[in-house]
């Protein structure tokens, strides 16, 4: 069984998807982490982030691994980059890399490979492109204000100070880039269940998705 969770930055996808995977005993795959890790490597090598051929070639010589479990970890060529990929520089650069067609092609193939068993996968194009046949599809949203509040808190908890206004501006920009790109844009699949999390707790969102999974399993 496949559970696809999509939505804009700060909608709570990763937190919720991870908890749903834990409750179901499924593998959790954070596809955003893959775009982020590749972006980090490109930045370290000083490559222009909008150069499709160079970044696609970089992907070919890159090993990306995700470890699921109570502590999800991301490995870039064997190095644990779980913290480094959340830094503001990567936040700012990742949409450019995610807009490159050849890069998306490569990562989508890799993600489809990884999704062979029971999985919960989160991203932007999971329900539309990566796993169009997923039994459960959810599109999470929340108001921009609430998403910015969550993002600012998350960054502060890691010692990075950003104001709510700054977080709001960064999220709005990333949403715009993610929604407007030609290939695999951020978009709700027609058959995805729309869930607005603005006034819901994490626990409520998890329960709602689990009940969709239960229905799908019964069907």
Task: Name the residues that contact ligand DC, by CB under 6 A.
Answer: 9, 31-32, 35-36, 94-95, 98, 123-126, 174, 178
In the complex with ligand DC, the residue whose CB is nearer, 125 or 168, is 125
Angle between helices 88-98 and 164-180 (to 10 degrees): 10
In the complex with ligand DC, the residue whose CB is nearer, 26 or 123, is 123
In the complex with ligand DC, the residue whose CB is nearer, 134 or 215, is 134
Name the minimum Å distance from CB 126 to ligand DC.
Answer: 6
Name the minimum Å distance from CB 184 to ligand DC.
Answer: 6
Name the minimum Å distance from CB 88 to ligand DC.
Answer: 12
The CA-atom distances, in angstroms, between 54 and each of 84, 110, 171 are 22, 19, 27
Name the minimum Å distance from CB 55 to ligand DC.
Answer: 13
In the complex with ligand DC, the residue whose CB is nearer, 95 or 197, is 95
Name the minimum Å distance from CB 35 to ligand DC.
Answer: 4
In the complex with ligand DC, the residue whose CB is nearer, 95 or 141, is 95
Among candidates 112, 35, 121, 42, which has minimal Cα distance to 74? Answer: 35
In the complex with ligand DC, the residue whose CB is nearer, 44 or 215, is 44
Radius of gyration of the chain (CA): 16
Name the minimum Å distance from CB 174 to ligand DC.
Answer: 5
């Amino acid at each position: 069984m496949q559970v696809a969770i999509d939505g804009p930055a700060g909608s709570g996808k990763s937190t919720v998807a991870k908890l749903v995977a834990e409750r179901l005993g499924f593998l959790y795959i954070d596809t955003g982490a893959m775009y982020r890790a590749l972006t980090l490597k490109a930045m370290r090598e000083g490559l222009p982030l909008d150069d499709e051929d160079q970044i696609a070639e970089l992907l070919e010589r890159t090993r990306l691994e995700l470890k699921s479990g109570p502590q999800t970890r991301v490995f870039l060529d064997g190095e644990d980059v779980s913290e480094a990929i959340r830094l503001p520089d990567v936040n700012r650069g990742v949409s450019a890399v995610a807009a490159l067609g050849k890069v998306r092609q490569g990562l989508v193939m890799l993600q489809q490979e990884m999704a062979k068993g029971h999985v919960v996968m989160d991203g932007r194009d999971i329900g539309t492109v990566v796993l169009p046949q997923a039994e459960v599809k959810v599109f999470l949203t929340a108001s921009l204000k609430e998403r910015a509040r969550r993002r600012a808190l998350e960054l502060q908890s890691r010692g990075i100070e950003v104001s709510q206004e700054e977080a709001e501006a960064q999220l709005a920009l990333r949403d715009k880039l993610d929604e407007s790109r030609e290939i695999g844009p951020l978009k709700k699949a027609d058959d995805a269940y729309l869930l607005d999390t603005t006034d819901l707790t994490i626990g409520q969102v998890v329960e709602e998705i689990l009940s969709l999974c239960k229905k799908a399993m019964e069907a």
